[in-house]
Amino acid sequence: MRIILANPRGFCAGVNMAIESLERAIDLFGTPLYVYHEIVHNRPVVDRFRSLGVVFVDTIDEIPEKATVLYSAHGVAPGIREAAAARSLRAIDATCPLVTKVHLEALRYARDGYTIILIGHEGHDEVLGTMGEAPQHIVLVQDVADVARLELPKDVRIAYLTQTTLSVDETQGIIAALKQRFPQIVGPPKADICYATQNRQEAVKDLCDMAEVVLVLGSQNSSNSNRLAEIARSRGKKAYLIDTVKELRDEWFQASDTVLITAGASAPEENVQECVNHLRNRFGAEVEHRTVREEHVNFPLPRELRSLSVV
């Protein structure tokens, strides 16, 4: 067996920042410490923090007054911040800066009187946060069929934004459909889909033709991880999305297979290496590293944590 390890893979700068923020907050303030929604969409990461005393909540009123809350990498709507202030919570904002960029674009377009078409997945934490910035101005579309169903005046001022973790190819198709229906539509000067999402998708596209099987480390509720598996399947490959080596099945493989292994932007590298070690032990696999693009992006900790030191 041959393993191709795709680079880049795994944690992006936003996930690194969010996880480091939560670890530092635990050191500073102890537990219980509350996180609004999952810190990132990865079950092993969430389970690890839960074992340390972190409490993940879906509503602010689950948090005791004057407690500490950390906002996840996916961002939150203004109403959540207001609810936290009303309960006198110490709030730490670990929103990915690339998500914050989309929020600011939504506010700008809304102030300028645009109807905003948000391309994204209904119910996703990031989409909920973005729509909360200007709910009277934003319409969600998930696919080309939704674009066809839009009913807007011909002379409407219209702009589009996207969730940061979508499929690049699929999103381009939706944007093309929007431009065909609404030639006057405008968009952000720089694409909303984040660099890490694009890079991981590019790596799978470039490398999966060499493989019979593609393994994607990531959780079922991770948008960007699902997109990686979908890309491989669209190219006729057997692709499996798993959290850990415990979900790996030997019957998925032939002894002579080439296996491409990658990981979503919220999946820990240790879970990748456990799968590599299993395939080495079971099939005598040899490992080859393939780098499609270098990444050198880092985001600072939230300002609420930067000036504080652990006692």
Q: Which neighbouring-strand residues pair with 69? A: 34, 91
Rg, the chain, Cα only: 21
Burial 170-197 (b: 16+ CB within 10 A, else e): bbeebbebbeeebeebebbeeebbbbbb
Question: Does the active-site annotation cover 82?
Answer: no
* Residue 12, amino acid: C
Q: Cis ω on the peptide bond leading into residue 32 (within 30° of 0)?
A: yes
Active-site choice (126, 170, 270, 295):
126
d(CA 133, CA 102): 10
> What residues are labeled active site?
126
